[in-house]
Amino acid sequence: MGRAADLGDIWENSEYDCARFDRDQATSRLNELKHAMAVAHIVDANDISTEYIMFGVTVVLEDPKNGKDIEYTIVGPYETDSSGTYISYLSPTAQGIMGKRIGEFAEIKTSSGHILYRIKGIFLRKE
């Protein structure tokens, strides 16, 4: 911002405005991460049950329409991946299957309608 301010009047200085915006965005993100770290805690794998779907498990869902299986691991919002294998417990899919047991059905609301899945398996991923 100092370099941008050196370019002249800061009231009509687009570089200064952009630098301020970038600083404010970075500060906001830093505060968000500080909050996440303050409320985060480590989950012991020994405390995770595979009796029902919960944070930390990997689940196998079957689409009854086509019989295809989909596998997801339920993780925290900062642990997701672009392939969609690791999904946040906050996601609509995870919210729709949480608490379900093997053999039960879960209806997931999506932007294109509703999808019905059968819970086919629940296990802990070994990594």
Which residue(s) pair with 122 in the sheet?
59
Please tell me the predicted confidence (pLDDT) of residue 19: 87
pLDDT band at 8 (very low <50, low <70, confident <90, very high): low
Residues 88 and 72 in one domain: yes
Residues 110 and 96 in one domain: yes
CATH code at position 58:
3.10.50.30
Residues 23 and 58 in one domain: no
Q: What is the three-class DSSP state of 52?
A: coil
Q: What is the three-class DSSP state of 59?
A: strand
pLDDT digits (tens, 9 = 90+) for 50-92: 899 999 999 999 987 888 999 999 999 888 998 889 999 999 9
Residues 91 and 52 in one domain: yes
Give the up-direction half-sphere exposure of residue 90: CA atoms within 13 A in the CB hemisphere.
5
Residues 110 and 62 in one domain: yes
Residues 35 and 59 in one domain: no
Residues 8 and 35 in one domain: yes
Amino acid found at 57: V
**Position with higher pLDDT, 103 vs 127:** 103
Residues 87 and 119 in one domain: yes
Predicted TM-score (pTM) of this structure: 0.71
State how far the Cα of 78 lies from the Cα of 28, in Å rounded to an integer: 16
pLDDT digits (tens, 9 = 90+) for 20-55: 899 999 999 999 989 888 888 787 877 888 899 999
Structure tokens at 13: 């200085």
Residues 52 and 102 in one domain: yes
Amino acid found at 34: K
Residues 63 and 104 in one domain: yes
Q: What are phi and psi of 14, to 5 degrees?
A: -65, -30
Please tell me the predicted confidence (pLDDT) of residue 15: 82
Q: Which domain holds residue 49?
A: 45-123
Residues 63 and 109 in one domain: yes
In the chain, how many domains are there? 2
State how far the Cα of 119 lies from the Cα of 65, in Å rounded to an integer: 14
